[in-house]
Structures are given as structure tokens and as C-alpha cells.
Amino acid sequence: MTPTFAGPLLSDPLVGFDSIIFVATVPPALHMCDQYCANIAGSSDGLYLLSGLKSGTPKVTNLTANSVVAKGTLAGQKLAPGGYLSPDLSYDGKTILFAWSPGSGAKCYHIFKMNIDGSNLVQLTDGVANYDAPLQYSDKSHNDFDPCWLPNGRIVFISERRGGAGRCTSGRPFPTYTLYSLKDDGTDITPISYHETNEWHPSVNNSGMIVYTRWDYLDRDDCIAHQIWTCYPDGRDPRAPSGNYPNPLQTLAGAGTDGRYDRPSGEWNIRAIPNSAKYVATAGCLRQVASSRHSA
């Protein structure tokens, strides 16, 4: 793997970094909830560092190629091959969080951390998924993924530990997953959201609040209600900054334009723009609506 590129974006003086951490897993083309179920996850041989972005001849390094788990159930073992997901860099740039699932057997995502050079690989969460009885999850049966460092040193992540399933996924082996947090040594695992449906992609905005995607059915819609939410690092005061619907609010038959479709169906992978109140995110449309300006 020897990429040779350098575009105007990377040469911009406002871009103050020269490296990117990434995973090479190919996600399955499935429902937005199903894709995070580890038993159908894509497979990769590691977590990568792309360095020298502005040089025109960047270098790719497999950070986990020689890493051995130092602590946890998998102590003494290497992780690859498997499903790698959602790396997050600490505020001091020294430690990486990520999720990993094994390549075979009872797959389940666990959260790990390691130094930026691949050393001191530590397993923070554990468990075996029970896909035959998905609604009977317990603290030892779950997927944990999407870890993110908090300013107070804790880690927020997404987990299936609360049990239950969303209305669209009832009867299928894909339980609801919501916000949790833990200490950076893997202890004090604490639920910070009891929302009935799924949540995704927590990050931290410039005010120190958690910003994430929540699928919220209440007074909205089943397929166009995956918007940006915020809460305090302990889960208090969850809010949808953009409200229920954009105007117009009329949704009754014959009432005219339905304002629900004047915005994206989903707003994913939200990140705060530094020194700004703005965000960057991925917009998605989940279905085609004949009367809408948007299409799938």
C-alpha cells in the first residue's frame, strides 16, 4: 500500500496535522443498525497510521501488526485478523481507542486502547454475544464500540448492555445500543442513556458536551429521525438542537408540504469544527419520497 497524493486541502496552512489514523474494514451493505453487529462485520488485518500526508508520498503503517494484548481475557494474543472499528485519539495525541471483534466464532466488539506506536495494547471491555437470545443480554453479553475520549479522562462508548430492541428490529438479533461510559482502565462501566432506540458515534463538541446521533421515534417518524443530539458527559440533559421537525410542521393528509423531508433522514459521524459552534457530519437519505426534493 503506497499512496501517492497531495491535494489542495492537505496543503492548506490551516490543516495543522500530517497524519491520519484509519481502519480498512469493508462494512456490510446492511441496515444502519445491523452493520454494527460483530457477527456480520467486515474483516481487516489491522489499525493503520497514514503519515507524511503533505509530503506527496505518505507512508502507511499497520500499528497492530506486532501488538500483543498486555491485559484482559486476550492477554498474550494478537488481534488481527478481525473487525476494526471507530479509532479515537486522546487529547494529548499519545493513546488510541478502538473497537475490535474476532474473525470467527461468537463475534463481539470489545474496546481496546494502545499507545500511538502500537505498544501497551490493553483490553478494556469483554463479553460474548448471544445471537440466539438477543433480548436477554447481560453485563457479560454485548457488543461495545464507538469509544471516544472525554475531557475528564473517562471514555464514552456505545453498548448493547441495556438490552431490548428498537421497534423496527424486534424479533431480529440486533438489540438496542446506547451511550455508556467507563474509566480509562476499563472499570466503573456506567449507563448514561436509557433511550429506547439506537444511538451512534459519540464525540465531544467545543463546549465539552457529548454530541451524537440518536434514533428517536417520539413525535417524529421511523425513518427520518436520526439527528444530532447533545448531552453532558454524565448523560444529563439530552437535547435535539434542531428540534422535532423543520418548518412547516403540518403532517396531516391534505395539509400541504410535509416539512420532515426538508432535512436529511440521518446525520451521522458528527464532529465539532475547532473553535466554532458548527459541526461537520455525514448526511443520509434512507428512502425515496416521491413528493420530496430529496431522493435516496
Q: Domain coordinates of the chain in residue numbers?
A: 205-296
111: left (phi over 0), alpha (psi -120 to 50) or beta: beta
Grid cell 473497537 in the structure block, residue: 99
The pLDDT value recorded for residue 38 is 67
Q: Are 197 and 213 in contact (CB under 8 A)?
A: no
For 69, the grid coordinates are: 494484548
* Host H or E run for residue 71: strand 69-71
pLDDT at residue 67 greater than cutoff 80? yes
Residues 6 or more apart in contact with residue 96 via CB below 8 angstroms: 21, 47, 63, 87, 88, 89, 90, 113, 114, 115, 116
CA-to-CA distance for 45 and 274, rounded, in angstroms? 32
At position 205, the amino acid (one-letter code) is N
Strand partners, 272: 279
Q: Are 200 and 213 in contact (CB under 8 A)?
A: yes
Mean pLDDT computed over 104-128: 86
At position 68, the amino acid (one-letter code) is V
CA-to-CA distance for 41 and 54, rounded, in angstroms? 32
Q: Quote the pTM value.
A: 0.85
The pLDDT value recorded for residue 256 is 59
Structure-model confidence comparison of residues 23 and 286, the more confident one: 23
At position 242, the amino acid (one-letter code) is S
pLDDT at residue 209 greater than cutoff 90? yes
The two beta strands, 178-182 and 279-284, are unpaired
Q: Which of the four pLDDT bands, split at 50, 70 and 90, describes residue 296?
A: very low
CA-to-CA distance for 159 and 144, rounded, in angstroms? 4
At residue 166's C-alpha, the angle toward residues 161 and 169, to 5°, is 105
Structure-model confidence comparison of residues 247 and 71, the more confident one: 71
**Half-sphere exposure (CA, 13 Å, Cβ side) for 47?**
28
The pLDDT value recorded for residue 142 is 76
Mean pLDDT computed over 230-253: 78
CA-to-CA distance for 176 and 33, rounded, in angstroms? 8
- Round the CA-based radius of gyration of the chain to a whole number and report it: 20
Alpha carbon of residue 58 to chain centroid: 26
By mean pLDDT, which of 111-125, 132-146, 153-167, 175-189 is the weakest? Answer: 132-146
Strand partners, 284: 266
